[in-house]
Amino acid sequence: MMSNDELRRRVVATLAEELELDPEALTPEATLYDDLGLDSLDAVDMVVALEKSFGMKFTDEESLKAVRTVNDLFELLIRLKESQTADEA
């Protein structure tokens, strides 16, 4: 099972590659829209890239809409990972 640190590294690597962002800019406090300059199309691309990378579907749109920072994204993915692990147990 992937640790939370591995998950964070994978998120940063995926976003840097898919959205052509500087990995150094992907700090936990960086805001997706203001600091990283993402727009709504980038947000869709980000979700698709993360779904592919992690092999999971984001079904809770409200949780996705609440994501404002890179750390919010980390926390959402950690919760999804933990709920999947619980479902598999």
| Three-class HEC string of 48-75 | HHHHHHHCCCCCCHHHHHCCCEHHHHHH
Query: Rounded CA gap, 36 and 82, in Å?
Result: 27
No. of helices (H) and no. of strands (E), the chain:
4, 0
pLDDT for position 72: 97
- The tens digit of pLDDT for each residue in 27-65 reads 999 999 999 999 999 999 999 999 999 888 888 889 989
pLDDT for position 1: 75
**CATH code of the domain containing 8:** 1.10.1200.10
As for how many domains the chain has, the answer is 1
Q: Which domain holds residue 71?
A: 4-88
Instruction: Name, in order, each residue with C-beta under 8 angstroms of 86's C-beta and a sequence gap of 6 or more.
Output: none
Residues with active-site annotation:
39
